[in-house]
Amino acid sequence: GVPCVIDCPLGPALLFVKTSQGEEEGRRFYACSACRDRKDCNFFQWEDEKVSETRLAAREEYNRNHQPPFTHRQNVERYKNFVLLPLSKRRFCQECQQLLLPAEWEKHLDHQFLCDISTAQLKSPSQLLYPLENKKTNAQYLFADRSCQFLLDLIIDLGFRRVLSVGTPRLHEMIQSKASQEDFRVRSLLLDIDFRYSQFYTEDEFCHYNMFNHYFFGGEAARETCRKFLYQDSGERVIMVTDPPFGGLVEALASSFKKLMAMWKETEKEGHNNQEMPVFWIFPYFFESRILEFFPSFSMMDYQVDYDNHALYKHGKTGRRQSPVRIFTNLTPSMIVLPVEEGYRFCTICQRYVSSGNQHCEICNSCTSKDGRRWKHCVLCKKCVKPSWFHCNNCNCCALQNHTCEKTDAVCFVCGKAGHKRSTCPSLSHT
């Protein structure tokens, strides 16, 4: 039959529901927690399906074959040897994304490789490795230096000394590179699904982790590393900073983050009963309602986070060019000071920093813009809307001027009832 934990190479699978038009109850199935695309991981199994011994054995064999060529410990040893090599013998295979020791050169003869890998390059692995740009699984869009430096300065100003970097290799790297400075006291632990980082960081600096199912690939030892890191020694405050793939399921992510927050709480000494571990969750503003559904204590900051290798998410001056990525946090908004020179100002009524185009609306009694442009209040909708929207009497709400009106008799594709769209259908079970 079905084993208790159903695994693919990326750890325990998640249970989903497939609903067809007009069906009340969907059929449940297991699929890879991290890959939404079958091309990346073709794991699929109906919940009620009986799996033969042969298929189980084949699956275990497949999972074994899809493990990385070296363990983390072996990679740490290899790194020690690599660093001892003269510059002329330091090679990195671009095809295998691997640091090469001279004895391995022969195997990689027909591959492209980089030579003379400097210490500076080894300290910036996110620049050496190819970004995995599969939007849904890895989506390694890396913070632009400006945003990374801003985040680090903010963390330091807020008095945090430890950063749990969940899927934020650039931030981890920036912290690690400053670690040798005498007056720099911040430490970071990187949790990331990209095992390539194990070539550059020790087992105390990196844990191979899947944030969609809270799975530590290194088992109990890695979990213990994380637990130890979260234990606040001599008042060293911890903050978790996470930058998940934007195509990821908010629900699965929230579940993992709650588990990490619970792990922090368990390590706490008495007296922290009602507190939550401080968090910066970096995500697009249009997910605000989803995030607040799982974390009512969070609020969204106006700061625009930029990425190096993402054409759309760069700091722009106008309209659509602006990055939609924001910081969601459970810290008091007034504590998050945003740079005035980048066009942020403090609203004394809202008690938070907002972008300069975000005007305070007297009727809503808040700074309502989400995208950096000045929004306008619609009396009929009883809220502020984007400047390009107009009130449509057919739809009874604001929309773009050339939108297609929702027909009043339109029915939901999932359950066949009127009054809502497929995305908000009550019969759609969540993951």
Whose structure tokens read 């109906």?
46
Angle at 273 between CA 272 and CA 279, to 5 degrees: 65
DSSP 288: H
- Tell me the pLDDT tens digit for each residue of 367-376: 888 887 888 8
The pLDDT value recorded for residue 14 is: 85
Is pTM, for the whole model, over 0.95?
Answer: no
Q: For residue 196, which phi and psi values (nearest 5 degrees)?
A: -60, -25
DSSP calls for 32-72? -SS--STTT---EEETT----HHHHHHHHHHHHHTS-SS-H
Q: Is 274:321 a contact under the CB 8 Å cutoff?
A: no
Q: For residue 94, which phi and psi values (nearest 5 degrees)?
A: -75, -30
- Based on the number of CB atoms within 10 Å of its own CB, is 176 exposed (0-12), middle (13-18) or buried (19 or more)? buried
300 in helix, strand or coil?
strand
Q: Is 164:138 a contact under the CB 8 Å cutoff?
A: no
- Beta-carbon neighbour count of residue 45 at 10 Å? 16
Which of 242, 373, 365, 263 shows the shortest CA–CA distance to 317?
373
Angle at 133 between CA 129 and CA 134, to 5 degrees: 130
Per residue, what are the HEC states of 218-235? CHHHHHHHHHHHHCCHHH
Q: In the numeric block, which tokens belong to residue 363?
A: 């009727």
Mean pLDDT by 10 residues, the chain (431 residues): 62 80 74 77 82 83 80 96 96 93 93 93 91 56 89 95 96 92 90 95 96 93 94 82 89 95 80 79 94 96 83 48 88 94 90 87 83 85 88 88 70 56 53 37
Rounded distance between C-alpha atoms, residue 103 and residue 72, angstroms: 20
User: Which residues face 135 on adjacent strands?
Assistant: none
Q: Is 245:424 a contact under the CB 8 Å cutoff?
A: no
Rounded distance between C-alpha atoms, residue 241 and residue 201, angstroms: 18
Q: Is 213:12 a contact under the CB 8 Å cutoff?
A: yes
182 in helix, strand or coil?
coil
Pairing of strands 187-192, 113-114: unpaired
The pLDDT value recorded for residue 234 is: 67
Q: For residue 287, which phi and psi values (nearest 5 degrees)?
A: -95, 10
Whose structure tokens read 């069906």?
23
